[in-house]
A and B are shown apart, each in its own frame.
Chain A
């Protein structure tokens, strides 16, 4: 009996030794940071003076701020609502195409994934040039649009760039999911006389549902936080037409003449809650239709 508990105790100690570096790093810079972010969001705080308790005032100042409710939130929601469905559907179609027995499959897979390998900064740099008024895209299409400097086209241009860069990753995830569906299921369905459409509806979609959920979740978490491309391509302009939630937090926290990190923290916390709620709702939505 005592020997057993000594061994158990040893296992506990070993486990926590193995976990120590992660618990320290994650514990301080993620877990504690999140708690501090929550605390800061109820204080006035700008690095120079110690935080002073303010209550919910920061949250009121955030939601009443025109930059927040007139630009950051609508722009971000539009961005999520367009980019997530488009990149999900595109990557699913490409995964289907690649799942067929086609020649040069590996070549296509490599080419498709390429945009996901390079940094957002480089992608931003390349597309600023391609979308310039005299840039390659206008020359090829015979247009004279100032894509990034026009309030009507700036946000859609950034959407296009992001769809371009993420579709490859999502396609790989879908492809792995499709290849995990056992071939016997299709054979069985074929013997039962199922049509191609029925196979898709009753075999592929149900078995792919967890993967779809995952891809949409990844998409939502990623698109709500769009920042790098905005910074590189437009810095939120022109006239705040590409001002997004995270860019506004950055602006309030680090770019203003008098940085206001309390307000930035409140906006960041609202974003965390929003992402959580939206993810839960879409989970209910995708699982709910399953029966």
Chain B
């Protein structure tokens, strides 16, 4: 990208152009092709969800014809549990997001700014645990939920285990963020006699808004889409989250797949809308994990 600003010796001009001339069209072709590959499956899902269930394997089209709202009516009225799943998922995702962001930012601040015995060891242990496969902890997590805490098949149990299991990344991200924050404002607060707590709530939290939002968005996405842990911990359909309910749909109503497609949009459309609105924070969150991570 930078080469455009540098004047090239004219002698080179004769040998360079082939790639230079082809580069832009090739890149555009690639980008357009992958855009179609990425977007079409969703668009087709929307289109066929507005078509009668008998038309589910009708030849591909980009607009619903014949058009019907029947699938949505069936999903929302004929399946008692469906609205319940939506509610459960919303409650779970909101509480999991709030708990994870708040507690992870507290811990991240301690790791980034305070000196205390065991700091390095603890931080490295938390960091290292990000490599562990979730499945390796699922047997004991399930066992604890059944035997110790007796919260198997409850939403709050799912919330506690999910938030605990996802702390490591949140703490890591917040620590990295606080480390690169200038200390001036905090030091001014300390000179004025503020305690750690008041400094954290009055000075640090407002400054950390972008990082909190980025982690919040990633957490909402993660919990809204969570599947494996819910599959293990939740048992009665009334307690299911939407992804778990949809998974059940997919196997029980394979014959009326138009309904399944319509139902699936209740999971994917909300998160897509959030993505369009908060896109900047998604991108920042992902960039954080990649760059500052190594």
Interface residues of A (CB under 8 A from B): 8, 11-12, 14-16, 18-19, 21-23, 25-26, 28-34, 36-37, 40, 47, 93-94, 96-102, 107-115, 117-122, 124-130, 132, 134-136, 139-140, 164, 167-169, 172-174, 176-177, 180, 183-184, 186-187, 190-191, 196, 199, 210-211, 213-215, 221, 224-225, 227-228, 231-232, 246, 249-250, 253-254, 261, 264-265, 268-269, 271-272, 275-276, 279
Q: Are B136 and A34 in contact, with the CB atoms below 8 A?
A: yes
Q: Contacts of A26 on B, CB cut-off 8 Å?
A: 126, 129, 164, 167-168, 171
Binds A, one of B63-71, B73-81, B207-215, B272-280: B272-280
17 additional contacts (CB under 8 A) given A117-B268, A272-B133: A14-B114, A19-B110, A22-B126, A23-B122, A47-B143, A47-B146, A114-B38, A114-B42, A115-B38, A117-B275, A120-B227, A121-B264, A129-B48, A186-B1, A186-B3, A187-B3, A190-B8
Q: A110-B276, A111-B39, A114-B39 are in contact. Are A25 and B27 (CB under 8 A)?
A: no
Is the CB–CB distance between B38 and A225 below 8 Å? no
* 4-49 of chain B: CB within 8 A of chain A: 4-6, 8, 16, 19, 23-24, 27-28, 30-31, 34-35, 37-39, 41-42, 44-45, 48
Complex-state Cα separation, A191 to B264, whole angstroms: 55
Cβ contact within 8 Å between B164 and A101: no
Contact between A118 and B272, CB atoms less than 8 A apart: yes
> Which of chain A's residues have a CB closer than 8 A to the CB of B268?
117-119, 122
A32 touches B261 (CB 8 A): no
Inter-chain CA distance A11–B140, complex, in Å, is 34
Centre residue among A26, A167, A184 by max chain B CB count within 10 A: A26
Q: Decide: A180 near B291, CB < 8 A? Known: A102-B31, A112-B38, A228-B227.
A: yes
| Interface membership of B293, Cβ < 8 A | yes
Q: Mark B107-141, 1 if CB is under 8 A from A, else 0.
A: 10111001111010010011001011111111111
B130: nearest chain-A partner, CB-CB? A221
Answer whether A139 and B139 are a contact pair too, CB < 8 Å, given A97-B30, A164-B38, A224-B133: no
- Tell me which residues across on chain B come within 8 A of A121, comparing CB atoms: 225, 227, 243-244, 246-247, 250, 264, 267
Is the beta-carbon distance between A102 and B27 smaller than 8 angstroms? yes
B110 to chain A, nearest CB (A): 4
Does residue B289 face the partner (Cβ distance < 8 Å to A)? yes
Pick the residue among A100, A125, A261, A275 that contacts B246 (CB under 8 A): A125
Report the Cα distance A264→B197, complex, angstroms: 45
Q: Shortest Cβ distance from A75 into chain B, in angstroms?
A: 15
Which of chain A's residues have a CB closer than 8 A to the CB of B23?
A: 100
Pair A31/B1 contact, Cβ less than 8 Å: no
Chain A contacts for B41, CB-based, 8 A: 115, 126-127, 130
**Which chain B residues lie closer than 8 Å to A174 at the CB level?**
290
Give 10 pairs: A residue, B residue, CB < 8 Å, sorted on A. Answer: A22-B171, A115-B38, A121-B227, A121-B264, A122-B246, A176-B290, A190-B3, A228-B227, A271-B133, A276-B131
Q: In terms of DSSP, what is the predominant structure of the interface of chain A?
A: helix
Residues of A near B225 (CB, < 8 A) are 118-121
- Choose one: B168, B196, B260; the contact of A30 (CB below 8 Å): B168
Nearest 3 interchain pairs by C-beta: A25-B164, A173-B290, A119-B225
B165, CB-defined interface residue at 8 Å: yes
Complex: A168 Cα to B146 Cα, angstroms: 38
- Indicate which residue in B8, B30, B283 contacts A93 across the interface (CB closer than 8 Å): B30
CB distance from B186 to the nearest CB of A (A): 13
User: Bound state CA distance, A40 and B134, in angstroms?
Assistant: 16
Chain B residues numbered 238-294 whose CB sits less than 8 Å from any CB in chain A: 243-244, 246-247, 250, 257, 260-261, 264, 267-268, 271-272, 275-276, 279, 282-283, 286-287, 289-291, 293-294
Hey, what's the 0/1 contact readout for B154-186 against A, CB within 8 Å counting as 1? Answer: 000000110111011001000000000000000
A275: chain B residues at CB < 8 Å are: 131, 133
Q: Are A221 and B131 in contact (CB under 8 A)?
A: yes
Contact between chains at B110 and A15 (CB < 8 Å): yes
**Measured CA separation A10–B1 after assembly (Å):** 52
Asked whether, in the complex, the Cβ of A261 is within 8 Å of the Cβ of B31, the reply is no
Asked whether A118 lies within 8 Å of B271 as measured between CB atoms, the reply is yes
Residue contact A132 to B135, C-beta cutoff 8 Å: no
Query: From residue A82, how far is it (CB to closest CB) to chain B in Å?
Result: 18
Residues of A within 8 A of B122 (CB): 19, 23
The reply to whether A30 and B287 form a contact with Cβ atoms under 8 Å apart is no
Report the minimum CB–CB distance from B137 to chain A (whole Å). Answer: 4
CB nearest neighbor in B for A169: B286
- Nearest residue (CB) in B for A248 is B135
Known contacts A15-B114, A28-B164: A261-B139 contact under CB 8 Å: yes
Q: Is the CB of A214 within 8 A of B293?
A: yes
Of the candidates A30, A172, A269, the one having the most CB atoms from chain B within 10 angstroms of its own CB is A30
